[in-house]
Amino acid sequence: MTWIQQEIDLDPRSRGFHLITDEVVRRLPRLSEVRVGLLHLFIQHTSASLSINENADPDVPRDLENSFSALAPESFPYEHTVEGPDDMPAHVKASLLGAALTIPINSGRLCLGAWQGIYLCEHRNRGGRRRLVATIWGE
């Protein structure tokens, strides 16, 4: 069994759901060496999250953003407001979606379904650079 771990820094993105599948794969050249295994992705932030969802229709990320903004609106009477009106809703959204994904690997490729992609879910208006820790375990 082989363990591979590396950090992936993502450029800042605006608030919304951003497909990062190709970027993640490109940043993990040793993925191609794994016959069977798992990729674990962990985001080191509390106001952004990761998700797997539909990767083809551009309406999906917009609808996801609109849905999550309705679930955790900036207008809610939060107590934690010192970092701006988008901060606490970002924490709520990140808690709902989660900080980690685990994806099977087969023959050097991620076993995502035909319509699945990895999303960086940026919940702040300007979240800054985001860092993922990618851990591959396999043979």
Whether the Cβ atoms of residue 120 and residue 99 lie closer than 8 Å to each other: no
pLDDT at position 41 is: 99
User: What radius of gyration, in Å, describes the C-alpha atoms of the chain?
Assistant: 16
Using a pLDDT cut of 90, give the percent of the chain over it.
98
Identify whether the C-beta of residue 118 lies closer than 8 Å to the C-beta of residue 101: yes
Backbone conformation region of residue 99, classed left if phi is above 0, alpha if psi is from -120 to 50, else beta: alpha
Report d(CA 25, CA 103) in Å as an integer: 12
The token pair at 33 is 């060496």
What integer is the mean pLDDT of 13-38?
A: 98
Predicted pLDDT at 113: 97
Mean pLDDT of the chain: 97
Query: How far is residue 95's CA from residue 54's CA, in Å, rounded to a whole number?
Result: 20
- pLDDT band at 68; cut points 50, 70, 90: very high
d(CA 92, CA 96): 6
Identify the architecture of domain 13-126 in CATH: Sandwich (2.60)
Question: In the beta sheet, which residues pair with residue 39?
Answer: 103, 136
Q: Are 124 and 15 in contact (CB under 8 A)?
A: yes
Supply the pTM of this predicted model: 0.96
Residue 4's pLDDT is 97
Q: Report pLDDT for 89.
A: 98
